[in-house]
Structure 1
Amino acid sequence: MSSKEKPTLGGTRYKTRKRNITAPLDPTAFADAVVQIYLDNAGDLELVAKSIESSDLNFSRYGDTFFEVIFTGGRTQPGTIKPDEGDRHAFSVLASDATREAILPYVIYIQKILRRRPFLIKNLENVMRRFLQSLELFEENERKKLAIFAALTFSQKLSGLPPETVFQPLLKDNLVAKGIVLSFITDFFKEFLKDANIDDLIALLKRGKMEDNLLDFFPTAKRSAEGFSEHFTKEGLVSLVEYNQKKMFDVKLKEMKAALKTQIEEETDISEVIENLKQQVRDANMPDIEVVRMLWDVLMDSVQWSGKNQQQNSNAALRQVKAWAELLNVFCTSGKLELELIYKIQVQCYEDAKLMKLFPEIIRSLYEQDVLAEDTILLWFRKGSNPKGRQTFVKSLEPFVKWLEEAEEEEDE
């Protein structure tokens, strides 16, 4: 070997790392091909779906572009809804009429595509999210079409589109402030409720994490319970108004129960408790019957129960009734409310084993504390309408009722 030659290792092969080579993105050519399918089939969605099924188009790369063509008739400029260069067709969602009959076929058509290519659901989400975040760029009629489309995908259970994809992008401050979001969501609710009931809508809102935030769709100036009721009543969505009122009532009721329970457990002066509760009832505009029901629930929830010792439990419950009878007396202001209190006690004693035998003693104690009038007790005994445990309780109350009747006869004499 010459002294000038470099030594080599025999049999050694040098490998060079291959670079990943990807074809350049060409969404325009893809969009033109999809548009051509529409044109070739004159917009017949059945035929379009079959042609797309048999095509070798690269949907995994151009899924967003595909849905742009479905919604707008062609490509849109990046970050906008403006038409981009390339061919277009006149059979898009936004070119249809703003009616259920016109838009439902597009929902069914998309479902057929997604069954064959389920990975495209992510692209549908992307495009829907982008369009909804840009609602102000659409005409009012086009926004209505998008609302109808979105509502139908859920009410017909056709696409698998996650609810948050629709609801969350709407919460942009500028869109909400202009009232655009409220208009959109109103159209959405109205269309959805044509096929479904209010329970279905609430379930959808829960999945979309919006059940507790419906007022977020309202401009600040209208963001109130009154504004909510006024708007949706005017739009004919009374079931939604009633649901919201009940939800708000339940929240207030829960807050009142918690506050009252704390006061009772801390043995706050009863006059102070009465004044606080009167103010809360006025502020919440709570019906008298609900107040009476709440009072009994809180009084029993505040009893210090002692496990399985029946006698101790009975004594504790009766002490509670006697200690807070004045509070009950203030709010049981009519025979109707007294009867409602008896029904409430009857149901709880029926459902709670540790109170089952205590019913007649509670009634007698409330009579002695002037919470229940004799006439009310006799009315319940003779004509009470709640069936829960009634036969048992009527029998257990017989001795006390007999005593009342005898006392009444003595007075008459």
Structure 2
Amino acid sequence: MSSKEKPTLGGQRIKTRKRNIAAPLDPTAFADAVVQIYLDNAGDLELVAKSIESSDLNFSRYGDTFFEVVFTGGRTQPGTLKPDEGERHSYSVLDCEPKREAILPYVLYIQKTLRRRPFLIKNLENVTRKFLQSLELFEENERKKMAIFTALTFSQKLALTPETVFQPLLKDSLVAKGIVLNFITDFFKEYLRDNSLDDLISLLKKAKMEDNLLDFFPTAKRTPEALSEHFMKEGLAAVVEYNEKKMFEVKLKEIKSMLTTLISEETDVDEVVDIVKQQVKEAKFLDIEVVRMLWDVLMDAVQWSGKNQQQNANSALRQVKTWAKLLNAFCSTGKLELELMYKVQVQCYEDTKLMKLFPEIVRSLYDLDVLAEDTILLWFHKGSNPKGRQTFVKALEPFVNWLEEAEEEE
């Protein structure tokens, strides 16, 4: 039996597919070339930018290395901030003075570079994030430079992603040492030189940190009082006002939610009064704020049928009657009673289904001893809110005439 011969290929030659063979990575050579551009131009950023633009350096591969050279004057060792082997220059961001005037030219220089090579924005984010995560390895004045630089990059709209930049700051070790608080304070100061508080809040919202200002503080100092004291001392009163307003809104929302639940469960009114008083005391709310909140919650809890005006009127008046004792507990002065009338007026003006209920609600509040006669007369003659004034004054005129006639008879 003859053995089988191995098959052989003949005829047309089969071509093998060529593979893309990547050139070996050489970040050190790239860094040396960038450093040499700085040295050749004696750190003149205008000339450096022109030389960078005309160069054929592989920025797409060595973007992170490029920004390391911009920040530190040379390449850093992988995973650290320690200088790596190779050439270095002394015209970096960290070599200049910790002042806006000294750092702004670097930001504008980077801005020019990004316009020509927008793909480098990701590399800028990478290196910025890397340095912010390692702030404890910097000297104090170097951290200040980084804060000013970061603020200016946002002011100049370099397209950095706020969340990508800011979230690394919440590293426990950095927060505990107070490094983050000092950094963010310098950042706020610099950013607010060119931008409004609304711009700053918008930036913090994009970074998902607008509700977390206390997270910048070490645990032992994480109190509203410490926050207010710190930022007031640093001349950032606007930040303090914003935080106080934010805290008020959070507490107000919590109390509204609790009160809505108590109303829906038909809790005894005396018990509700005690609970609200305790919550208000702990939250340190002003009486006028409590009156506004109570009326909003009571009206929001009304079961509006929407079928006809009389049913809506009955529902609203029934709610007022049920919870009059709660309103009375907090409308303890003429000024607070007047504030309640303002709330009723504005709501009736803004809500069409309540527009014609204003005189009935006021009459009901009077009958239930929530509003005094003097308060109603003051509102009628000179104290009403401008919203719908003529309409509501005219609608209440018969009741006011009755009050004045009764007073004359007495």
TM bin, normalised by shorter chain, reads over 0.9
Q: Counterparts of 2:368 and 2:271 in 1: how far apart (Å)?
A: 20
Give me the whole-angstrom Cα distance separating, in 1, the residues matched to 2:325 and 2:4. 116
Q: Across the two proteins, how many residue pairs are aligned to each other? A: 408
Output the CA distance in 2 between the equivalents of 1:218 and 1:408: 61
Is 1:47 the equivalent of 2:47?
Answer: yes
- Cross-structure match for 1:80: 80
Q: Is the 1:97–1:103 contact (alpha carbons within 8 Å) kept by the matching residues of 2?
A: yes
Who is 2:144 aligned against? Answer: 144
Q: CA deviation at 1:298?
A: 0.9
Distance in 1 separating the partners of 2:219 and 2:367: 54
Q: Which deviates more, 102-111 or 384-393?
A: 384-393
Does the 8 Å contact 2:132/2:168 carry over to 1? yes
1:241-298 deviations in whole A, cap 9, x for unaligned?
A: 1101111101111111111111112111011000000000100000000100111111
User: CA separation in 1, counterparts of 2:288 and 2:156?
Assistant: 41
Match of 2:218 in 1: 219
Q: Does 2:40 match 1:58?
A: no
CA distance in 2, matches of 1:4, 1:204: 77
Asked if 1:182 corresponds to 2:188, the answer is no
Letter in 1 for 2:155: S
Distance in 2, matches of 1:99 and 1:311, equals 69
Rounded to whole Å, the distance in 1 between the matches of 2:24 and 2:10 is 41
Could you tell me which amino acid in structure 2 is paired with residue 273 of structure 1? Answer: V
Alignment partner, residue 124 of structure 1: 124
Equivalent residue, structure 2, for 1:153: 153
Structure 1 residues 269 and 6: alpha-carbon distance in aligned structure 2, compared to 1, 3 A threshold: closer
Q: What is the match of residue 393 of structure 1?
A: 392
Give the whole-Å Cα distance in 1 for the aligned partners of 2:31 and 2:344: 71
Using the alignment, how far apart are the partners of 2:402 and 2:152 within structure 1?
A: 67
Instruction: Find the counterpart in structure 1 of residue 232 from structure 2.
Output: 233
SS of residue matched to 1:251: helix
Query: Which residue pairs with 2:305 in the alignment?
Result: 306
User: For residues 283 and 171 of structure 1, what CA distance do their matches in structure 2 show?
Assistant: 29
**In the aligned structure 2, how far is the partner of 1:41 from the partner of 1:81?**
25
In structure 1, the partner of 2:362 is: 363
Matches of 2:178 and 2:320 in 1, distance apart?
53
CA-CA distance at 1:4 after TM superposition: 11
Distance 1:324 1:10 in 2: 100
* Structure 2 residues without counterparts, runs of 5 or longer: none
User: How far apart are residue 5 of structure 1 and its match?
Assistant: 8.5
Determine the structure 2 residue equivalent to 1:102. Answer: 102
Cα 1:7/1:89, change in 2 over 3 Å: closer
- Aligned counterpart, 1:351: 350
Contact persistence 2:93–2:106 (CA under 8 A): yes
How far apart are residue 62 of structure 1 and its match?
0.9
Q: Please state how far the C-alpha of 1:165 moved relative to its aligned partner.
A: 2.5
Q: Distance in 2 between matches of 1:7 and 1:285?
A: 94
**Shift, 1:6, TM fit:** 6.5
Listed one character per residue, the Cα deviations across residues 202-256 of structure 1 (whole Å, up to 9, x for unaligned) are: 0000111111222111111011211211111111111011101111101111111
Q: Counterpart of 1:324 in structure 2: which amino acid?
A: W
Aligned match of 1:244 = 243
RMSD: 1.4
Cα shift readout 1:140-171 (whole Å, capped 9, x = no counterpart): 000000000000011222x1111123211111
> 1:272 maps to which residue?
271
Q: CA deviation at 1:333?
A: 0.6
- The alpha-carbon distance between structure 1 residues 7 and 294, as it changes in their structure 2 partners (threshold 3 A), is closer
Paired with 1:53 and 1:334, the residues of 2 have a C-alpha distance of: 73
- Asked if 1:293 is matched to 2:292, the reply is yes
Secondary structure, counterpart of 2:61 in structure 1: helix
Structure 1: gaps spanning 5 or more residues: none
- In 1, the alpha carbon distance for the partners of 2:285 and 2:277 equals 10
| Shift in Å, 1:61 | 1.0
Shift of 1:17: 4.5
**How far 1:10 moved relative to its partner?**
4.0
- Please say if residues 128 and 165 of structure 1, whose CA atoms lie closer than 8 Å, have aligned partners that are also in contact: no
Structure 1 match to 2:380: 381
Counterpart-to-counterpart distance in 1, 2:4 and 2:270: 112
Residue type of the alignment partner of 1:186: T
